[in-house]
Amino acid sequence: MIVTKYEGNKTFSVSEEEAMAPLAGEVQIKVAYCGICGTDVHIYHGMMDQRVAMPQTIGHEMSGEISALGEGVSYLKIGDKVVVRPLDNRGELPSDKGISHICKNLKFIGIDSPGAMQQYWNVPAFTIHKLQESTDLKLAALIEPLAVACHDVRLSGLTAGETAVVLGGGPIGMLVAFVAKSQGAQVIISEVNPVRINMAKSWGFDVVSPVETDLVAYVDGKTEGRLADVVFEVAGVQPALDVMTEVAGIRGRIVMVAIHGQPKPVSLFKFFWKELKLIGARVYEPEDYETAIDLITKNELPFAELITDVQPLSKIQNAFEQNDLNPNGMKVMLDCQS
């Protein structure tokens, strides 16, 4: 089987190896597709070399079919279409208070242990979510990032009729916008890239370029002064942090989706003055996976258009290099059987 490994220094190796039989409690998956996540790009750029044990197979936004069952796995069968929720919480402690998905000793499969960018992948059976027979496996590789979006929206407490402002229209921002809209919210996306702006408009979204339009005045006008009920900070840049507390209305909730590596200036006064809430949101819980699976199964949203490129697994080096050169692209996927 084809196995790819991140070797450090912006380099992937591609080799032919023998597929290993799954251990007890594991399943072997014939991987269909694996998306390139922002985290994978971070790893490729060497920004997580202290965490990733090189050489390492990475990747976690995947879909596939069960190809072998380890001892004791009876509720799955060969040929089942599946996705993996790549969270290994076996090191959970009482001090985690049962909040398994972000427990202190959480291992993220595909970062802290081998990932899906290979033809066959062995994972603990408890990570599996089963799909319906009819599910499109290319779309199914969007379930993992879509589950992130479902988690973000769920933790925001968004209700139908509320106004959600999404700061940043990259893949996660777009998925958050889709989920928020699917739950009946009025969605406004703030994005600077003209290609992404047009993409979002083509999907029926209200999009503002904050460089050209005063976002706060725009949202104020669209909401009769109520401003945003929920703000999703998905941009990861200081101007987004500056505007998030302005564009949120009284008792607005701001969901922190972006990863800000360093402490950044935040207007705590606005939190006090308008009784805002900041809600940290990380990965997902099983119910978010089920919501995402449901959305992909129904396939009523233009998910397919989010996939802007598919490359063969054997061309992983080229795929990451091309991805860096194309800031307009949304989701690049690897076809793991070619």
Q: Tokens 């705590």 correspond to what residue?
A: 268
- Look up 42 and say whether it is catalytic: yes
User: Cα(184)–Cα(180) distance, rounded to whole angstroms?
Assistant: 7
Options 265, 298, 300, 325; binder of a copy of itself; rule CB under 8 A = 265
Options 42, 129, 130, 277; binder of a copy of itself; rule CB under 8 A = 277
Q: Is 261 in the site for a copy of itself (CB under 8 A)?
A: yes
Cβ 272 to a copy of itself shortest distance, Å: 5
User: Cα(79)–Cα(68) distance, rounded to whole angstroms?
Assistant: 9
Instruction: With H, G, I as helix, E, B as strand and everything else as coil, classify residue 245.
Output: helix
Angle (CA) 160-164-168 rounded to 5° is 145
Beta-carbon count within 10 A of 232 CB: 35
- Look up 163 and say whether it is catalytic: no
Tokens standing for residue 163: 């106004």
Cβ 237 to a copy of itself shortest distance, Å: 12
Which range in 3-11, 18-26, 278-286, 317-325 contacts a copy of itself by CB under 8 A?
A: 278-286
Q: Is 268 in the site for a copy of itself (CB under 8 A)?
A: yes
Cβ 193 to a copy of itself shortest distance, Å: 23
- Do 67 and 29 form a contact (C-beta atoms < 8 A)? yes
- 317 exposed, middle or buried (CB, 10 Å; 0-12, 13-18, 19+)? middle
**Active-site residue, from 11, 42, 101, 129:** 42
Instruction: With H, G, I as helix, E, B as strand and everything else as coil, classify residue 19.
Output: coil
Cβ 230 to a copy of itself shortest distance, Å: 13
User: Cα(152)–Cα(288) distance, rounded to whole angstroms?
Assistant: 9
Options 250, 294, 305, 318; binder of a copy of itself; rule CB under 8 A = 250
Tokens standing for residue 61: 């936004």
Q: Is 42 in the site for a copy of itself (CB under 8 A)?
A: no
Q: Is 155 in the site for a copy of itself (CB under 8 A)?
A: yes
Which range in 13-21, 35-43, 260-268, 308-316 contacts a copy of itself by CB under 8 A?
A: 260-268
User: Cα(51)–Cα(54) distance, rounded to whole angstroms?
Assistant: 9
Q: Is 20 in the site for a copy of itself (CB under 8 A)?
A: no
Which range in 5-13, 47-55, 64-72, 220-228 contacts a copy of itself by CB under 8 A?
A: 220-228
Instruction: With H, G, I as helix, E, B as strand and everything else as coil, classify residue 195.
Output: helix
Cβ 277 to a copy of itself shortest distance, Å: 6
Q: Tokens 């996705």 correspond to what residue?
A: 83
Task: Bin 25: left if φ > 0, else alpha if -120 < ψ < 50, else beta.
Answer: left
User: Smaller CB distance to a copy of itself: residue 74 or 95?
Assistant: 95
Cβ 156 to a copy of itself shortest distance, Å: 11
Q: Is 1 in the site for a copy of itself (CB under 8 A)?
A: no
Instruction: List the x/- string, 74-103, binding to a copy of itself by CB under 8 A.
Output: -------------------xxxxx-x--xx
User: Smaller CB distance to a copy of itself: residue 130 or 282?
Assistant: 282
Those residues with Cβ within 8 angstroms of residue 258's Cβ, 6 or more apart along the chain or in another chain: 168, 233, 234, 235, 236, 240
Q: Is 224 in the site for a copy of itself (CB under 8 A)?
A: yes
- Do 244 and 231 form a contact (C-beta atoms < 8 A)? yes
Cβ 37 to a copy of itself shortest distance, Å: 15
Q: Is 276 in the site for a copy of itself (CB under 8 A)?
A: yes
User: Cα(111)–Cα(92) distance, rounded to whole angstroms?
Assistant: 18
Site for a copy of itself in 179-218 (CB under 8 A): none
Task: For residue 171, give the DSSP letter.
Answer: H
User: Smaller CB distance to a copy of itself: residue 19 or 279?
Assistant: 279
Where along the sequence are the contacts to a copy of itself (CB under 8 A)?
93-97, 99, 102-104, 155, 223-227, 241-242, 249-251, 256-282
Would you please indicate which residues are annotated as catalytic (active-site) residues? 39, 42
